[in-house]
Structure 1
Amino acid sequence: MKKILLGLLLFPMLAIAQQTITGHFAPENSFQFGILYRIAPDNVYYVTDANIDSEGTFKLNTQEDTTPGMYRIVYNLPQDQHFFDFIYNGKEAVEFTFNANKEITFTSSEENKLWSEYLTKSFQFTSALEELSTTEGVKERNISKALEEQNAWYQDLLKRAEGMLVYDLINAVKPYQENNFSTYKAYTEKVKSNYFNNFDFTKPLLQNSGLPLEHSIKYIFNYADPEHPVTSRNVNIDTVVKKIAATDNKYQKQVLSNLWDFLATNEQVSEANHLAEKHLIPLAQKLDDTALATKLTIYKNISIGSKAPNFSWPEYEGDKTLTKYFHDLAPAERYVIVFWSSLCSHCLNEVPKLHAKVASMTPDTVKVVAVGLEDFEAEWAPVAARFPLFTNVLGLKKWDNEIGNMYDVTATPTYFVLDADKKIIAKPEMLKDVFDALVIEK
């Protein structure tokens, strides 16, 4: 069973007194600075920064009006790759050690210690249960005993968390307790059916945290049918949408947008498109969020397996101007759409090689549409003339060109390889991969 382990959560904001945040980074002299951000559901907000001294120590004194919640320390560039998150409740100092392996240990702060314990122990219990369930000869009473130990630990953890920010979060993800264990499969089915029992998406405390998203992602992936993974994950997505239906539309859009980002980033294309088509695009349209609806639609239109979006260009025959359409191109076994520019050095290196490759193949096996993203026709025309085997299309306004925007082009060269039905089969980043995609197995 695939496990999705995510980072610490976002927490709601209250007001409290001054405390310190101290970090010890190892090895010494490997880190230079620390930037503190406050995390909110919609963004991260700069708070302050400090240098990490020669002994690897970083220290910040928070202001009296520093609001409790989830905070982020960035310790290197790029910022989106070098950071970690922690809880600040305003009542206690936070102190930690951090090493080059990105391992963080909290030496002060009960909030962070308890949440770290929850993340570590819950994963250990889940892994142990899976191992017991797949080990031949293990008796049911062994699994029942492991479940009893898990429940005893959880109840103790919850008791220790009383009065803290982390309490409601730990309470929301209460593990299912089976009193009449029969088989692990039956137990797993009950865990899935009871997964959201303690989780109230309407609570402001949870809405202002990242827990709803994390909990939903774990549900979608951890309880998918391994024999039908995509279909079952899509069913799980539908369940998540139903669970948040009691919240307002703006909050639903926030959670589902973040979920879509996770799916797209992790290349879960079918699941991302299912979420978008069935739920998120209609919601975006309902809220008049044209930008989001357009973004999701473009992603779907240029996904692997989709028929490449149609577009047109003018061709001139004497005094006549004819409008040509991509979908009307003569049949071929493969099509390539390449977005390039006459001022792009990589393009001027690769596009001639693509032309030579097409010239070496059986005529009409591969048809190439080369869209030149340009500011001026005069720069493009003499270069495009070197590629007579291509269908050359001038795309003026460069990065604001309609065809380029239709294909979400942000760099040149950009390639799309299509099959005989003009369905996208590859989006190679390297020219070698373009050539590989042109190979047709008989």
Structure 2
Amino acid sequence: MQKILIIALLSYFTGFSQYSISGKLDPSENISWVLLFKIENGEEIYLNNSEVTDGEFDFKIDATEKPGILRAYYDIEQRQFVEFLFNKENVAFEFDPNSPMLSIAYKNSRENEIYRNYYTEIYGLQKRLDTVQMAYFSNQDQSLNAGLEKKYKENLKELKKAQSKYESLSNNTLAYHFIKASAQYNAPEPIKIPQEYLSEAKLHFFDALDFKDEILKNSTFLSDRMIDYVFYLNQAENMLAANDLQSQAIRDIEDKIALDPALKARFYQNLITEYLAKDNAVMAEKILKKYEQLAPEFQNRAFIAKTKEDLKTAVGSQAPEISWTDLEGQKTLNELTDYDYYVIAFFSSTCSHCQEEMPIFHDYILGINNLKVIAIGLEDENSFASYNTMTENFPEFINIMESEKWESHLVKSYGISSVPSFFVLDNEKTIIAKPGDVEEIMRLFGTD
């Protein structure tokens, strides 16, 4: 996903009934439409759309629209957008959709330019400071330490000067809130031991943030920073250790937002989404319990229902039961005991990818003695014949046909939205992986 914050903060003129948000994509990359959303309480709300003509698009914003962050999506499926802050003024910019961060340019937004210049300058200065700190970690020659310490302090002084300059330039604007909140803590002198450096970073991570700032709360800024704190400052070599570290990090944040249930609800929702994306069912369930303890008015029942469905097939969860009938009678997944691993494969005989991958998969498992495949064909009355023909070549699979296709109860139980889809289970029928294709399964079990 490509993403950039474009801050457009201009003075209010009461004489305008509408404001213009115009942009140009260069090259246009065959983009036909741009969709405009606003961010309100961390959520995207659709505003308008504009056709792209010769790479150009234009939106009209009603004068009653409140100042805040807007997003112009130029590829909604890939979530590619430019993000800017509307403050009761016309905004015009152009960018290359392949590299918006590097190419963005503004025509009539001084404050936008201030924020962009801030980002560019601060990023460069911070990178220089970090380079010295990294050298200080690895330096074994004590005679060089004094020089590194001096260089570090010089760079730190320059960084603080730049931060102060941009806070002054953006004073009394919405951009100021983001610039001030972006100030990163740096120790007054370089730290020799990496673990001490990490501890300092954690201790001071939120120094520049005001959790009561309504402008930050209405954007995604606070939410993004909280997620960064949990996941990027609290990593470990294994999941159990990472879960412990991240649980403490979550408690740290809960202490800071204890009196703000709306922000806490958003924090929990973001955590659950992240943990599900990482297939960490243990932490997703843990946070879901916290979320359900909030007052009802701060809960999203649809989100809770979807999360519970997703948890059924998250890595670490017990696979939903499957039953079928063969010549020996009624069988179930949980009754199978003869193998170390099981793969549940959803496919359809009319799916071109399935037609290509499933025969390869069947031939591959012939050399694996401790693996059994339960192949579930999603079919309808028009594909019964092709299913029977296809599965004649899969004698090593347990073949199950679901005649209701996408309405099948197994489709709903496993959350299937496309085929082929695969789930790898251990001998306890716990989901241990969800490979994207047959090649990934082959890498899991070895390709020899």
TM-score, with structure 1 as normaliser:
0.78
- Who is 1:72 aligned against? 71
Deviation per CA, 1:229-279, whole angstroms, max 9, x where unpaired? 83544543443344333211x4423233234435555xx344xx4542222
Aligned partner letter, 2:219: S
**1: CA distance between counterparts of 2:313 and 2:271?**
20
Structure 2 residue corresponding to 1:368, chosen from 351, 367, 373: 373
**2: CA distance between counterparts of 1:88 and 1:154?**
23
- Who is 2:83 aligned against? 85
* Gaps in structure 1 of 5+ consecutive residues: none
- Who is 1:114 aligned against? 114
- 1:8–1:217: structure 2 CA closer, same or farther, 3 Å change rule? farther
**2: CA distance between counterparts of 1:218 and 1:430?**
30
- 1:50–1:63: structure 2 CA closer, same or farther, 3 Å change rule? farther
- Assess if the C-alpha contact under 8 Å between 1:22 and 1:96 holds in 2: yes
TM-score, with structure 2 as normaliser:
0.77
- Assess if the C-alpha contact under 8 Å between 2:378 and 2:401 holds in 1: yes
- Who is 2:62 aligned against? 63
- Who is 1:398 aligned against? 405
RMSD: 3.9
- Who is 1:145 aligned against? 154
Structure 2 residue corresponding to 1:261, chosen from 266, 269, 273: 273
Aligned partner letter, 2:81: F
**2: CA distance between counterparts of 1:88 and 1:167?**
14
- Superposed, 1:30-429 pairs within 5 Å as 34-40=34-40, 41-53=42-54, 57-60=56-59, 62-75=61-74, 77-78=75-76, 80-90=78-88, 92-99=89-96, 100-102=98-100, 103-135=103-135, 136=139, 137=144, 138-176=147-185, 178=187, 186=196, 189-224=199-234, 230-231=242-243, 232-248=245-261, 250-262=262-274, 264-265=276-277, 268-270=278-280, 273=281, 275-284=283-292, 287=296, 289=300, 291-304=302-315, 306=316, 308-315=318-325, 322=330, 324-358=331-365, 360-361=366-367, 365-375=370-380, 379=384, 382=388, 386=392, 387-429=394-436
- 1:118–1:351: structure 2 CA closer, same or farther, 3 Å change rule? same
- Assess if the C-alpha contact under 8 Å between 2:7 and 2:115 holds in 1: no
- Assess if the C-alpha contact under 8 Å between 1:418 and 1:424 holds in 2: yes
Q: How many residues align?
A: 422
- 1:382–1:346: structure 2 CA closer, same or farther, 3 Å change rule? same
**2: CA distance between counterparts of 1:60 and 1:402?**
45
**2: CA distance between counterparts of 1:59 and 1:84?**
14
**2: CA distance between counterparts of 1:58 and 1:404?**
41
**1: CA distance between counterparts of 2:150 and 2:235?**
26
**1: CA distance between counterparts of 2:185 and 2:2?**
18
Aligned partner letter, 1:390: F
**2: CA distance between counterparts of 1:311 and 1:15?**
61
- Assess if the C-alpha contact under 8 Å between 1:176 and 1:194 holds in 2: yes
- 1:184–1:98: structure 2 CA closer, same or farther, 3 Å change rule? farther
Q: 1:211 Cα deviation (Å)?
A: 0.6
- Assess if the C-alpha contact under 8 Å between 2:184 and 2:208 holds in 1: no
- 1:310–1:440: structure 2 CA closer, same or farther, 3 Å change rule? farther
* Gaps in structure 2 of 5+ consecutive residues: none
